[in-house]
């Protein structure tokens, strides 16, 4: 929803479309940006995509006009964090003999991603984390880090089990009510 009296002038010659060609000559550009009120796709909270922000996106960053802003600032930041974590995880995962600092990072990233709901809390996921922690245990200089990570793992596993029990209870109650 457009917010009145917020228009700022756009520079069509700096805008582009996904197609790659500039449509400036054909008049197919945005002349003004307005503050617009949106609902975040992820958290469903309202946010404003500010006119100044749009100018920055479409004229400075070179983001094509078709790309719309669908997430609030907080969710966009979270999204970027997840993307970075995923990329880093893949880099580390490709190393055949990870050293202690890499093992620590692998475990830490895995735990973060389980917490963010990016990784399924599957027994295999937990098994892999435990395997890395075991390897790490051979390096006694990393004992403090290892214990910290082990505690975080135990905490997450406990909360997963609790959620699972709750689900089983709910299912059981549904069966009984039949």
User: Site for Zn ion (CB under 5 A): which residue of 18, 28, 43, 158?
Assistant: 43
CA atoms within 13 A on the CB side of 178: 4
| Residue 69 is a binding residue for Zn ion (CB under 5 A) | no
Question: Minimum CB separation from Zn ion for residue 24, in Å?
Answer: 33
Give the C-alpha separation, 4 to 10, whole Å.
16
Between 74 and 101, name the residue whose CB sits nearer to Zn ion.
74
Between 67 and 99, name the residue whose CB sits nearer to Zn ion.
67
| Residue 72 is a binding residue for Zn ion (CB under 5 A) | yes
User: Site for Zn ion (CB under 5 A): which residue of 3, 7, 30, 40?
Assistant: 40
Window of 26-34, 36-44, 91-99, 127-135 that interacts with Zn ion by CB under 5 A: 36-44
Give the C-alpha separation, 76 to 59, whole Å.
20
Give the C-alpha separation, 86 to 110, whole Å.
9
Question: Which secondary-structure segment (H or E) carries 73?
Answer: helix 73-93
51 exposed, middle or buried (CB, 10 Å; 0-12, 13-18, 19+)? buried
| Residue 75 is a binding residue for Zn ion (CB under 5 A) | yes
Window of 23-31, 40-48, 78-86, 120-128 that interacts with Zn ion by CB under 5 A: 40-48
Give the C-alpha separation, 53 to 62, whole Å.
12
Number of residues lying near Zn ion (CB under 5 A): 5
Q: Which two tokens stand for residue 71?
A: 């997430």
Window of 4-12, 39-47, 57-65, 131-139 that interacts with Zn ion by CB under 5 A: 39-47
Give the C-alpha separation, 18 to 43, whole Å.
27
Window of 15-23, 43-51, 86-94, 97-105 that interacts with Zn ion by CB under 5 A: 43-51
> Interface residues with Zn ion (CB under 5 A)?
40, 42-43, 72, 75
């Amino acid at each position: 929803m457009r917010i009145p009296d917020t228009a700022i002038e756009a520079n069509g010659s700096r805008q582009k479309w996904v197609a790659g060609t500039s449509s400036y000559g054909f008049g197919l550009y945005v002349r003004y940006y307005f503050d617009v009120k949106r609902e975040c796709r992820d958290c469903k909270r309202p946010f404003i995509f500010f006119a100044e922000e749009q100018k920055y996106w479409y004229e400075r960053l070179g983001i094509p006009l078709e790309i719309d802003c669908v997430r609030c600032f907080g969710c966009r930041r979270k999204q970027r964090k997840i993307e970075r974590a995923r990329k880093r995880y893949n880099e580390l995962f490709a190393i055949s003999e990870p050293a202690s600092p890499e093992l620590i990072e692998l475990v830490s990233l895995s735990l973060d991603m389980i917490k963010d709901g990016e990784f399924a809390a599957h027994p295999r996921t937990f098994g892999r984390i435990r395997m890395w922690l075991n390897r790490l245990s051979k390096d006694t200089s990393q004992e403090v880090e290892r214990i910290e990570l082990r505690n975080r793992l135990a905490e997450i596993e406990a909360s997963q089990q609790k959620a699972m029990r709750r689900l089983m209870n709910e299912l059981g109650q549904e069966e009984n009510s039949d």
